[in-house]
């Protein structure tokens, strides 16, 4: 149902909303003092495209992209997203031979894609648990921002014991703390 709703929104709307989300994120991030390294991702067709964010903030922040290694993710610093190569599942990812690793403790902010999110911070992934495998290793101070279009925000979603809640939710309506953070 969520996949159908996202696809039905159309490519033009998704790009317009992605640009708005990137503007909101750039403004929000620029007001934070302790953020230097941002974990981001290369978007699949129906995900929020964060490439404009990297372009607008690359002079002041470093960006780390995920690389699928076995059943988990490793992040690597990538100065230019054009350097990403097609990797697992056809997703652009860093080349570990040229992009240095960035451990979870080095990442100050993690932009997490997902199929759906709730205002309570629950994230519904794509079922492979890659983000679930790495999020527990991030320091508690790391911002975990669920990135989604407003139409992906649900009242409730299933949650398993290993699921890590998002601290914030970023949509075209802005960046807001989740109930997991505000409680």
Global pTM? 0.94
Give the model's pLDDT for residue 163: 86
Residue 143: partners with Cβ closer than 8 Å, 6 or more residues away? 32, 35, 108, 109, 110, 167, 168
| Assigned architecture for domain 2-182 | 3-Layer(aba) Sandwich (3.40)
* Domain boundaries along the sequence of the chain: 2-182
Neighbouring-strand partners of residue 66: 75
Give the model's pLDDT for residue 182: 58
CA dihedral 167, 146, 109, 33 (to 10 degrees): -60
Give the model's pLDDT for residue 162: 81
Give the model's pLDDT for residue 85: 96
Other beta carbons within 10 angstroms of residue 170's beta carbon come to 25
Q: Tell me the per-residue pLDDT of 84-134, one tens digit each, with 9 for 90 and over.
A: 999 878 889 999 999 999 999 999 999 999 999 999 999 998 878 899 899
Among candidates 50, 68, 54, 51, which has minimal Cα distance to 126?
68
Give the model's pLDDT for residue 178: 96
Residues of the chain with pLDDT under 70: 182-183
């Amino acid at each position: 149902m969520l996949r159908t709703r996202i696809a039905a929104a159309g490519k033009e709307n998704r790009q317009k909303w992605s640009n708005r989300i990137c503007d909101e994120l750039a403004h929000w991030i620029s007001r934070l003092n302790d953020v230097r390294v941002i974990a981001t991702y290369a978007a699949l067709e129906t995900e929020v495209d964060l490439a404009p964010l990297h372009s607008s903030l690359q002079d002041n922040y470093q960006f780390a992209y995920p690389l699928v290694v076995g059943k988990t993710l490793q992040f690597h610093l990538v100065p230019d997203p054009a350097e990403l190569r097609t990797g697992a599942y056809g997703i652009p990812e860093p080349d570990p031979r040229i992009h240095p690793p960035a451990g979870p403790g080095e990442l100050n902010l993690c932009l997490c894609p997902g199929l759906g999110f709730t205002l309570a911070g629950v994230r519904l992934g794509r079922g492979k648990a890659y983000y679930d495998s790495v999020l527990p290793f991030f320091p508690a101070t790391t911002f975990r921002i669920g990135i989604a279009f407003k139409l992906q925000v649900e009242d409730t979603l299933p949650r398993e014991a290993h699921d890590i809640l998002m601290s914030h939710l970023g949509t075209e309506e802005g960046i807001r703390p989740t109930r997991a953070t505000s409680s």
